[in-house]
């Protein structure tokens, strides 16, 4: 008798705990995520029903994200003190492996705003707070707040047009995460968690980055929701950054 997919996924995640070396563990869990990406229980998938459900897939990805975050943070404590700068560079290069979990979450067919707000974002923010590392918290919040429609900012394309493609370091996992509607609807929840960040985290930079994401030009995709947030008394040209600022002020 074959075991359900959710049981196999849980066993695979537990087996990966046997590799505690930070770099090897990161690559192993990233490989696991890529191998099972088309085998996760989801709406319309072949492994649904008794094999598992969408919440099982979400739990598996969140657990993998949490373990990869721990391994990534531990990299700063490996080796002698004089190599700390080198280790920080390695962490910066490997952070895309952690962000790949969020990209996979966003591609689940059954992902909705309600599901994101209730079952995805709260545990993500909890893991961000628990890692207690300023660099990691800033990057993970940047991952969470990435806007799906903004693949590469126009200013980046102009500035890097002459650079060979191999040297571009825009992580693919960050280029297409959750729609902007999700971010604005859940903005108060995200802002409340900023109070619990590590003292070494640059909250001002995080807020500026968030405002830039919400204020970037995305055409008319978000115009209807913006009109609701704007209210009847605000001018028609109000940007989403201004709307986000209003929400922050309300907070």
List pLDDT tens digits, range 122-152: 999 999 999 988 888 998 998 888 766 433 3
pLDDT-based confidence at residue 17 (cuts at 50, 70, 90): very high
Q: State how far Cα 249 lies from the chain centre.
A: 25
d(CA 40, CA 244): 35
Quick check: 65 and 98 in contact, CB under 8 A? Answer: yes
List, in sequence order, the alpha helices (H) in the chain. Answer: 5-16, 22-35, 54-74, 84-106, 113-115, 121-130, 134-144, 154-159, 180-185, 187-193, 203-215, 223-230, 240-250
Phi, psi dihedrals of residue 250, rounded to the nearest 5° = -60, -40
Quick check: 235 and 168 in contact, CB under 8 A? Answer: no
Query: If you average pLDDT over every residue of the chain, what do you get?
Result: 76
d(CA 79, CA 104): 32
Q: Could you give the 3-state DSSP secondary structure of residue 103?
A: helix
Quick check: 103 and 173 in contact, CB under 8 A? Answer: yes
Give residue 148's pLDDT: 63
What length is written for the chain? 251
CA dihedral (28, 84, 129, 210) positive or negative: negative
Half-sphere exposure of residue 177: CA atoms within 13 angstroms, side-chain side: 24
pLDDT-based confidence at residue 109 (cuts at 50, 70, 90): confident
Q: Is residue 167 over pLDDT 50?
A: no
Give residue 117's pLDDT: 92
């Amino acid at each position: 008798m074959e075991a359900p997919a959710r049981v196999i996924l849980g066993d695979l995640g537990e087996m990966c705990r046997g590799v505690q070396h930070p770099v090897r563990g990161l690559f192993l869990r990233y490989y696991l995520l890529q191998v099972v990406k088309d085998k996760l229980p989801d709406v319309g998938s072949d492994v649904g029903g008794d094999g598992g459900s969408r919440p099982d897939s979400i739990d598996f990805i969140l657990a993998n994200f949490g373990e990869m975050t721990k391994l990534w943070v531990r990299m700063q404590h490996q080796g002698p003190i004089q190599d700390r700068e080198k280790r920080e560079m390695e962490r910066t290069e490997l952070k895309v492996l952690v962000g790949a979990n969020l990209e996979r979450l966003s591609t689940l067919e059954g992902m909705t705003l309600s599901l994101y707000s209730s079952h995805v974002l709260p545990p993500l923010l909890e893991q961000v707070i628990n890692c207690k590392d300023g660099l990691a918290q800033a990057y993970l919040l940047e991952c969470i707040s990435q806007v799906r429609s903004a693949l590469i900012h126009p200013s980046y394309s102009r500035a890097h047009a002459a650079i060979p493609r191999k040297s571009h370091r825009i992580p693919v996992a960050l280029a297409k995460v959750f729609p902007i509607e999700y971010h604005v609807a859940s903005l108060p929840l995200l802002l409340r968690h900023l109070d619990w960040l590590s003292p070494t985290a640059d909250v001002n930079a995080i807020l500026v980055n968030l405002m830039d994401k919400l204020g970037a030009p995305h055409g008319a995709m978000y115009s209807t929701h913006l009109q609701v947030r704007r209210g009847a008394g605000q001018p028609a040209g109000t940007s989403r950054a201004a709307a986000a600022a209003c929400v922050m002020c309300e907070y």
